[in-house]
Amino acid sequence: MNHPAITEPAEDEERLQLAARTAQRIITQCRAHAQTVVGKLSDRIKSTSVSTPCGQDVAAGRAGSHRVAFQERLDILESMSNAVVSYLCGLEVLLKHETLYSLSTVPILRSLAEVAATCHWMLEPGLTADDRAARGYASLFHTVEQNRALVEDYAKVREQLVEIVTESGGKIQRRVRDGETTEEVGTVRVGRAHAKTAFKYHHRLEQQIPAISSMYSGMSAMIHGETAALGLAWDSADVLLRMVAKVALESTRAWSEAVNTWTGTEYQAPFVNEADAANIIRSMPPELIAEFEAELRQAQDGR
Protein backbone atom coordinates (compact mmCIF):
# COMPACT_ATOMS: atom_id res chain seq x y z
CA MET A 1 0.00 0.00 0.00
CA ASN A 2 1.36 3.40 -0.92
CA HIS A 3 1.59 5.86 1.96
CA PRO A 4 0.96 9.37 0.60
CA ALA A 5 2.30 12.38 2.39
CA ILE A 6 -0.17 14.69 4.10
CA THR A 7 -0.60 17.59 1.71
CA GLU A 8 -1.60 21.23 2.10
CA PRO A 9 -3.96 22.16 -0.76
CA ALA A 10 -4.08 25.84 -1.55
CA GLU A 11 -6.95 26.10 -4.03
CA ASP A 12 -10.51 24.82 -4.23
CA GLU A 13 -9.75 22.49 -7.14
CA GLU A 14 -6.80 21.00 -5.29
CA ARG A 15 -8.99 20.42 -2.24
CA LEU A 16 -11.60 18.72 -4.42
CA GLN A 17 -9.02 16.42 -5.97
CA LEU A 18 -7.55 15.61 -2.58
CA ALA A 19 -11.01 14.85 -1.19
CA ALA A 20 -11.72 12.55 -4.15
CA ARG A 21 -8.43 10.66 -3.84
CA THR A 22 -8.83 10.40 -0.08
CA ALA A 23 -12.38 9.03 -0.33
CA GLN A 24 -11.33 6.45 -2.92
CA ARG A 25 -8.38 5.25 -0.86
CA ILE A 26 -10.32 5.07 2.41
CA ILE A 27 -13.20 3.15 0.84
CA THR A 28 -10.79 0.65 -0.72
CA GLN A 29 -8.99 0.10 2.60
CA CYS A 30 -12.28 -0.26 4.51
CA ARG A 31 -13.57 -2.76 1.97
CA ALA A 32 -10.37 -4.83 2.13
CA HIS A 33 -10.49 -4.88 5.93
CA ALA A 34 -14.17 -5.82 6.04
CA GLN A 35 -13.66 -8.67 3.58
CA THR A 36 -10.77 -9.99 5.69
CA VAL A 37 -12.82 -9.91 8.90
CA VAL A 38 -15.87 -11.54 7.29
CA GLY A 39 -13.70 -14.21 5.65
CA LYS A 40 -12.35 -15.31 9.03
CA LEU A 41 -15.50 -14.78 11.08
CA SER A 42 -16.99 -18.28 10.89
CA ASP A 43 -13.73 -19.95 11.99
CA ARG A 44 -13.27 -17.44 14.80
CA ILE A 45 -16.74 -18.15 16.16
CA LYS A 46 -16.17 -21.93 16.00
CA SER A 47 -12.79 -21.71 17.76
CA THR A 48 -13.60 -18.96 20.23
CA SER A 49 -12.53 -19.31 23.86
CA VAL A 50 -15.12 -19.45 26.62
CA SER A 51 -13.39 -16.41 28.10
CA THR A 52 -14.58 -14.22 25.21
CA PRO A 53 -18.06 -12.68 24.95
CA CYS A 54 -18.74 -14.92 21.95
CA GLY A 55 -17.60 -18.01 23.84
CA GLN A 56 -19.85 -17.14 26.75
CA ASP A 57 -22.80 -16.77 24.39
CA VAL A 58 -21.99 -20.05 22.61
CA ALA A 59 -21.84 -21.89 25.93
CA ALA A 60 -25.13 -20.37 27.06
CA GLY A 61 -26.79 -21.29 23.78
CA ARG A 62 -25.62 -24.90 23.97
CA ALA A 63 -26.94 -25.10 27.52
CA GLY A 64 -30.32 -23.94 26.27
CA SER A 65 -30.19 -20.53 27.92
CA HIS A 66 -31.46 -17.82 25.56
CA ARG A 67 -30.64 -19.95 22.53
CA VAL A 68 -33.14 -18.09 20.34
CA ALA A 69 -31.60 -14.74 21.22
CA PHE A 70 -28.15 -16.12 20.40
CA GLN A 71 -29.33 -17.41 17.03
CA GLU A 72 -30.84 -14.02 16.26
CA ARG A 73 -27.47 -12.46 17.11
CA LEU A 74 -25.69 -14.81 14.71
CA ASP A 75 -28.22 -14.13 11.94
CA ILE A 76 -27.84 -10.37 12.34
CA LEU A 77 -24.06 -10.62 12.49
CA GLU A 78 -23.89 -12.67 9.31
CA SER A 79 -26.38 -10.67 7.27
CA MET A 80 -25.19 -7.25 8.37
CA SER A 81 -21.50 -8.07 8.08
CA ASN A 82 -22.08 -9.22 4.51
CA ALA A 83 -24.03 -6.02 3.96
CA VAL A 84 -21.10 -3.93 5.22
CA VAL A 85 -18.86 -5.57 2.60
CA SER A 86 -21.47 -5.16 -0.14
CA TYR A 87 -22.07 -1.47 0.63
CA LEU A 88 -18.34 -0.75 0.65
CA CYS A 89 -17.92 -2.56 -2.68
CA GLY A 90 -20.72 -0.44 -4.14
CA LEU A 91 -19.14 2.78 -2.91
CA GLU A 92 -15.80 1.70 -4.34
CA VAL A 93 -17.31 1.12 -7.78
CA LEU A 94 -18.99 4.53 -7.77
CA LEU A 95 -15.92 6.43 -6.60
CA LYS A 96 -13.62 4.77 -9.13
CA HIS A 97 -15.93 5.41 -12.09
CA GLU A 98 -14.58 7.88 -14.62
CA THR A 99 -17.60 10.08 -13.89
CA LEU A 100 -18.26 10.94 -10.26
CA TYR A 101 -21.92 10.33 -9.42
CA SER A 102 -21.53 11.66 -5.92
CA LEU A 103 -25.22 11.83 -5.02
CA SER A 104 -25.63 8.13 -5.81
CA THR A 105 -23.26 7.28 -2.98
CA VAL A 106 -25.54 8.71 -0.30
CA PRO A 107 -28.22 5.96 -0.03
CA ILE A 108 -25.48 3.34 0.16
CA LEU A 109 -23.55 5.42 2.69
CA ARG A 110 -26.54 5.88 4.98
CA SER A 111 -27.32 2.15 4.82
CA LEU A 112 -23.72 1.37 5.74
CA ALA A 113 -23.96 3.62 8.79
CA GLU A 114 -27.26 2.04 9.86
CA VAL A 115 -26.11 -1.57 9.68
CA ALA A 116 -22.80 -0.75 11.37
CA ALA A 117 -24.62 1.01 14.21
CA THR A 118 -26.99 -1.92 14.68
CA CYS A 119 -24.13 -4.44 14.72
CA HIS A 120 -22.32 -2.30 17.28
CA TRP A 121 -25.49 -2.04 19.38
CA MET A 122 -25.98 -5.81 19.31
CA LEU A 123 -22.38 -6.66 20.24
CA GLU A 124 -21.33 -3.46 22.00
CA PRO A 125 -18.09 -3.92 23.96
CA GLY A 126 -18.66 -3.99 27.70
CA LEU A 127 -22.08 -5.63 27.56
CA THR A 128 -22.94 -8.58 29.76
CA ALA A 129 -24.32 -11.84 28.37
CA ASP A 130 -27.75 -10.77 29.69
CA ASP A 131 -27.45 -7.44 27.84
CA ARG A 132 -26.73 -9.23 24.58
CA ALA A 133 -29.59 -11.68 25.15
CA ALA A 134 -32.04 -8.86 25.87
CA ARG A 135 -30.95 -7.03 22.72
CA GLY A 136 -31.20 -10.22 20.70
CA TYR A 137 -34.79 -10.79 21.81
CA ALA A 138 -35.66 -7.11 21.30
CA SER A 139 -34.28 -7.26 17.77
CA LEU A 140 -36.32 -10.35 17.04
CA PHE A 141 -39.56 -8.75 18.28
CA HIS A 142 -38.72 -5.61 16.25
CA THR A 143 -38.13 -7.66 13.08
CA VAL A 144 -41.39 -9.58 13.45
CA GLU A 145 -43.35 -6.41 14.16
CA GLN A 146 -41.85 -4.53 11.21
CA ASN A 147 -42.78 -7.41 8.91
CA ARG A 148 -46.19 -8.14 10.39
CA ALA A 149 -47.87 -7.80 7.00
CA LEU A 150 -45.75 -10.71 5.73
CA VAL A 151 -46.11 -12.92 8.81
CA GLU A 152 -49.01 -15.34 8.79
CA ASP A 153 -50.95 -15.03 12.07
CA TYR A 154 -48.64 -12.34 13.42
CA ALA A 155 -50.25 -12.26 16.89
CA LYS A 156 -49.72 -16.00 17.35
CA VAL A 157 -46.05 -15.75 16.32
CA ARG A 158 -45.53 -12.84 18.70
CA GLU A 159 -47.02 -14.71 21.64
CA GLN A 160 -44.95 -17.79 20.84
CA LEU A 161 -41.86 -15.60 21.11
CA VAL A 162 -43.14 -14.24 24.40
CA GLU A 163 -43.38 -17.84 25.70
CA ILE A 164 -39.80 -18.55 24.59
CA VAL A 165 -38.49 -15.50 26.40
CA THR A 166 -40.37 -16.21 29.63
CA GLU A 167 -39.47 -19.92 29.62
CA SER A 168 -35.80 -18.88 29.36
CA GLY A 169 -36.13 -16.65 32.42
CA GLY A 170 -36.70 -13.37 30.62
CA LYS A 171 -39.58 -10.98 31.01
CA ILE A 172 -41.48 -8.83 28.55
CA GLN A 173 -43.20 -5.51 29.06
CA ARG A 174 -46.09 -4.55 26.79
CA ARG A 175 -45.99 -1.22 24.98
CA VAL A 176 -48.08 1.59 26.38
CA ARG A 177 -49.60 3.97 23.83
CA ASP A 178 -51.68 7.01 24.83
CA GLY A 179 -52.02 5.62 28.35
CA GLU A 180 -53.35 2.28 27.14
CA THR A 181 -51.42 -0.99 27.37
CA THR A 182 -51.29 -2.71 23.96
CA GLU A 183 -50.46 -6.27 22.99
CA GLU A 184 -47.18 -5.18 21.37
CA VAL A 185 -43.92 -5.95 23.16
CA GLY A 186 -42.14 -2.76 24.14
CA THR A 187 -39.26 -3.94 26.35
CA VAL A 188 -37.46 -7.23 26.99
CA ARG A 189 -35.74 -7.86 30.34
CA VAL A 190 -33.11 -10.51 31.01
CA GLY A 191 -31.76 -10.44 34.55
CA ARG A 192 -30.90 -6.81 35.24
CA ALA A 193 -30.56 -6.02 31.56
CA HIS A 194 -33.30 -4.61 29.37
CA ALA A 195 -33.72 -3.52 25.76
CA LYS A 196 -36.49 -1.68 23.95
CA THR A 197 -37.87 -3.14 20.76
CA ALA A 198 -38.51 0.19 19.02
CA PHE A 199 -35.79 2.60 17.97
CA LYS A 200 -34.96 5.38 15.53
CA TYR A 201 -31.78 5.20 13.50
CA HIS A 202 -30.64 8.74 14.26
CA HIS A 203 -30.77 7.91 17.98
CA ARG A 204 -28.85 4.68 17.40
CA LEU A 205 -26.15 6.59 15.49
CA GLU A 206 -25.90 9.09 18.35
CA GLN A 207 -25.33 6.25 20.81
CA GLN A 208 -23.16 3.91 18.77
CA ILE A 209 -21.21 6.06 16.27
CA PRO A 210 -21.41 9.64 17.62
CA ALA A 211 -18.58 10.87 15.39
CA ILE A 212 -20.92 10.74 12.38
CA SER A 213 -24.36 11.14 13.97
CA SER A 214 -24.57 14.80 12.97
CA MET A 215 -24.27 13.79 9.30
CA TYR A 216 -27.22 11.41 9.38
CA SER A 217 -29.90 14.06 8.92
CA GLY A 218 -27.97 15.50 5.98
CA MET A 219 -27.79 12.12 4.28
CA SER A 220 -31.51 11.58 4.84
CA ALA A 221 -32.30 15.02 3.43
CA MET A 222 -30.37 14.22 0.25
CA ILE A 223 -32.10 10.87 -0.12
CA HIS A 224 -35.52 12.49 0.36
CA GLY A 225 -34.76 15.13 -2.27
CA GLU A 226 -34.82 18.19 -0.05
CA THR A 227 -33.78 21.19 -2.13
CA ALA A 228 -31.08 22.62 0.13
CA ALA A 229 -29.45 19.25 0.60
CA LEU A 230 -29.46 18.52 -3.13
CA GLY A 231 -27.96 21.94 -3.76
CA LEU A 232 -25.07 21.08 -1.44
CA ALA A 233 -24.52 17.81 -3.29
CA TRP A 234 -24.38 19.56 -6.67
CA ASP A 235 -22.42 22.66 -5.65
CA SER A 236 -20.01 21.29 -3.03
CA ALA A 237 -18.75 17.93 -4.24
CA ASP A 238 -15.74 18.14 -1.93
CA VAL A 239 -18.04 18.36 1.12
CA LEU A 240 -19.93 15.26 -0.02
CA LEU A 241 -16.71 13.36 -0.68
CA ARG A 242 -15.42 14.15 2.78
CA MET A 243 -18.70 12.91 4.20
CA VAL A 244 -18.36 9.67 2.24
CA ALA A 245 -14.84 9.13 3.55
CA LYS A 246 -15.68 10.00 7.16
CA VAL A 247 -18.92 8.02 7.41
CA ALA A 248 -17.41 4.96 5.74
CA LEU A 249 -14.34 5.05 7.97
CA GLU A 250 -16.22 5.48 11.26
CA SER A 251 -18.90 2.95 10.30
CA THR A 252 -16.34 0.30 9.37
CA ARG A 253 -14.36 1.06 12.51
CA ALA A 254 -17.42 0.69 14.79
CA TRP A 255 -18.54 -2.53 13.11
CA SER A 256 -15.03 -3.98 13.25
CA GLU A 257 -14.57 -3.02 16.89
CA ALA A 258 -17.80 -4.73 17.89
CA VAL A 259 -17.17 -7.93 15.92
CA ASN A 260 -13.53 -8.31 16.92
CA THR A 261 -14.18 -7.57 20.59
CA TRP A 262 -17.03 -10.09 20.67
CA THR A 263 -14.89 -12.85 19.12
CA GLY A 264 -11.87 -11.94 21.25
CA THR A 265 -9.73 -11.00 18.25
CA GLU A 266 -6.90 -8.63 19.01
CA TYR A 267 -6.57 -5.56 16.84
CA GLN A 268 -3.70 -5.45 14.40
CA ALA A 269 -2.33 -2.27 12.84
CA PRO A 270 -4.94 0.39 11.88
CA PHE A 271 -6.71 -0.72 8.72
CA VAL A 272 -6.70 2.78 7.20
CA ASN A 273 -3.52 4.71 6.49
CA GLU A 274 -3.24 7.54 9.02
CA ALA A 275 -2.22 9.98 6.29
CA ASP A 276 -5.41 9.23 4.37
CA ALA A 277 -7.52 9.73 7.49
CA ALA A 278 -5.76 13.04 8.16
CA ASN A 279 -6.35 14.17 4.59
CA ILE A 280 -10.11 14.19 5.21
CA ILE A 281 -9.48 17.27 7.32
CA ARG A 282 -6.63 18.60 5.16
CA SER A 283 -8.97 18.80 2.18
CA MET A 284 -11.19 21.29 4.03
CA PRO A 285 -10.97 25.08 3.67
CA PRO A 286 -8.71 26.36 6.48
CA GLU A 287 -11.48 28.38 8.11
CA LEU A 288 -13.56 25.22 8.66
CA ILE A 289 -10.86 22.96 10.08
CA ALA A 290 -10.91 24.34 13.65
CA GLU A 291 -14.71 24.09 13.81
CA PHE A 292 -14.69 20.53 12.47
CA GLU A 293 -12.00 19.37 14.90
CA ALA A 294 -13.90 20.91 17.83
CA GLU A 295 -17.09 19.08 16.83
CA LEU A 296 -15.15 15.84 16.43
CA ARG A 297 -13.62 16.12 19.90
CA GLN A 298 -17.04 16.83 21.37
CA ALA A 299 -18.52 13.74 19.69
CA GLN A 300 -15.65 11.54 20.87
CA ASP A 301 -15.88 12.87 24.43
CA GLY A 302 -19.61 12.18 24.47
CA ARG A 303 -19.22 8.50 23.64
pLDDT in tens, the chain (303 residues): 444 444 444 467 888 889 899 999 999 999 999 999 999 999 999 898 999 999 999 888 777 778 888 888 888 899 999 999 999 999 999 999 888 888 899 999 999 999 999 999 999 999 999 999 999 999 999 999 999 888 889 999 999 999 999 988 899 999 999 889 999 999 999 999 999 999 999 999 999 999 999 999 999 999 998 888 888 777 778 888 999 999 999 999 999 999 999 999 876 668 999 999 888 888 887 766 666 666 556 555 655
Element (H, E) at 208: helix 201-208
pLDDT of residue 302: 52
pLDDT of residue 291: 61
CB 249 within 8 A of CB 281: no
pLDDT of residue 176: 92
pLDDT of residue 5: 47
pLDDT of residue 283: 84
The whole-model pTM stands at 0.88
Pick from 73, 94, 121: which is nearest to 31 by CA? 94
pLDDT of residue 2: 46
Element (H, E) at 169: none
pLDDT of residue 141: 94
CB 210 within 8 A of CB 202: no
pLDDT of residue 270: 86
pLDDT of residue 6: 47
Q: Which residues 6+ apart lie within 8 Å of 157 measured at CB?
A: 144, 151
| Distance (Å, whole) CA 127 – CA 20 | 38
| Distance (Å, whole) CA 209 – CA 1 | 27
pLDDT of residue 288: 67
Torsion sign (Cα): 284, 289, 293, 296: negative
pLDDT of residue 61: 79
